[in-house]
Structure 1
Amino acid sequence: MQDIDVLRYPIGHYDHNQPISFEQSKQLIGVIRDFPIVLTELVGKWGDDRLDTPYRPDGWTVRQLVHHIADSHINAYVRTKLALTEDNPTISPYEEKEWAKLPDSTLDIALSLVILRNLHERWATILDALTETDLQRTYFHPAAQRQYILSDVIGLYAWHGEHHYQHIYRLAERNGWV
């Protein structure tokens, strides 16, 4: 049996204390832009048997993960736009575990893969245009009781994509699917 923490956090926890330079942010924006392509290459042709497999005991299925990524990144995109158009807005948190139980989490993953492809292109276009000053813009997350700086948000969501990609990839490795 594998250590559950390794299954839950295959690339470790995100470090909000790591400073992200302007140059690093540009590299991470590329990761965000390319993520939907990489994810689609991994899961785009999988059948229901694989998609409905949990990535760990008591974890979400691959299908739920793909839909969760779309939900999460939609929220991040909107929060980015709020931070760029308002002065330190308070964003609305959402209950991701409850969202994963809603009926749309059982739909074909192609719907979320298409959303992600188009969303990430729009999001990366906005992020690419940011100046160093823009990257310091913020929003307040009331559930976390913390202020997020856009440069950190870029790092967080580059990590978030890879975090869930590794959940899926390592499941595939364990099951001999790759």
Structure 2
Amino acid sequence: MQDLATLQYPIGDFAYGQSFSDGDTRQHIAAIDELPVKLTELVEKWSDDQLDTPYRPDGWTIRQLVHHVADSHINAYVRIKLALTELHPTITPYEEGEWAKLPDSALDIAPSLIILRNLHLRWVTVLAALTESDLARTYFHPGSQRTFVLREVVAMYAWHGEHHYQHAYRLAERNGWLEKNVL
């Protein structure tokens, strides 16, 4: 068994305060674009027993994780649109751990996979059109008492998608659930 830190952060923690080039941002947008198909291809045929397996001790199940990614990315999309249409808005935080306990987190994963596919289509359409000045826009997160710049937000959500994809992928790898065509 891997150590808990590796299970919790399979690709490492997101490093805030970095600078990202236009090329980096294009790669981040491409990663956001690809996530729904990639995640769907990995988990759509999993049994309920597989979906109800936690990716680490005391961690969320894969079912909760898929619903969390949809919840989180809905919030990210709205936050970005707020930052693009308001001057340095204060966003509303949410308790992701509490959301993962709500009844909809026990549903089949298909609705969240469909949400992700359609949400990411809209989100990537907005992201791909951002100008340099758009990417410099900001919002304030009162929970972390931090200002977020959109270029960094795009990087963070590219990381977030891969972070959770790797939770599911590495669980499947450890348990021998991978099909030959999944990378």
Give the alignment's TM-score, normalised by structure 1.
Answer: 0.99
Whole-Å Cα distance in 1 between the matches of residues 114 and 20 of structure 2? 29
1:82 aligns with 2:118: no
Spell out, residue by residue over 1:21-45, the C-alpha distance to the aligned partner (whole angstroms, 9 max, x if none): 1221112111101100000000011
Give, in angstroms, the shift of residue 148 of structure 1: 0.3
Deviation larger for 22-31 or 125-134: 22-31
Which 4+ residue blocks in structure 1 deviate beyond 3 angstroms? Answer: none
**Where does residue 19 of structure 1 map in the other structure?**
19
**Where does residue 70 of structure 1 map in the other structure?**
70
Partner of 2:14: helix, strand, or coil?
coil
**Where does residue 2 of structure 1 map in the other structure?**
2
Partner of 2:148: helix, strand, or coil?
strand
**Where does residue 40 of structure 2 map in the other structure?**
40
Whichever residue aligns with residue 86 of structure 1, its letter is: E
Q: 5+ unaligned residues in a row in structure 1: which ranges? A: none
Whole-Å Cα distance in 2 between the matches of residues 88 and 22 of structure 1? 22
1:112 aligns with 2:112: yes
Whole-Å Cα distance in 2 between the matches of residues 146 and 22 of structure 1? 23
Give the alignment's TM-score, normalised by structure 2.
Answer: 0.96
Give the number of aligned pairs: 178
1:175 aligns with 2:167: no
Whole-Å Cα distance in 1 between the matches of residues 117 and 56 of structure 2? 26
**Where does residue 101 of structure 1 map in the other structure?**
101
Deviation larger for 30-39 or 16-25: 16-25
Partner of 1:133: helix, strand, or coil?
helix
Whole-Å Cα distance in 2 between the matches of residues 21 and 135 of structure 1? 11
Give, in angstroms, the shift of residue 81 of structure 1: 0.2
Whole-Å Cα distance in 2 between the matches of residues 154 and 124 of structure 1? 10
Whichever residue aligns with residue 47 of structure 2, its letter is: G
Spell out, residue by residue over 1:80-116, the C-alpha distance to the aligned partner (whole angstroms, 9 max, x if none): 0000000000000000000000000000100000000
Whichever residue aligns with residue 64 of structure 2, its letter is: Q
Give, in angstroms, the shift of residue 2 of structure 1: 2.0
Spell out, residue by residue over 1:67-90, the C-alpha distance to the aligned partner (whole angstroms, 9 max, x if none): 000000000000000000000000
Alignment RMSD (CA, Å): 0.6
Whole-Å Cα distance in 1 between the matches of residues 92 and 46 of structure 2? 34
Q: 5+ unaligned residues in a row in structure 2: which ranges? A: 179-183
Instruction: Give identity over the alignment, percent.
Output: 69
Give, in angstroms, the shift of residue 65 of structure 1: 0.1
Whichever residue aligns with residue 6 of structure 1, its letter is: T
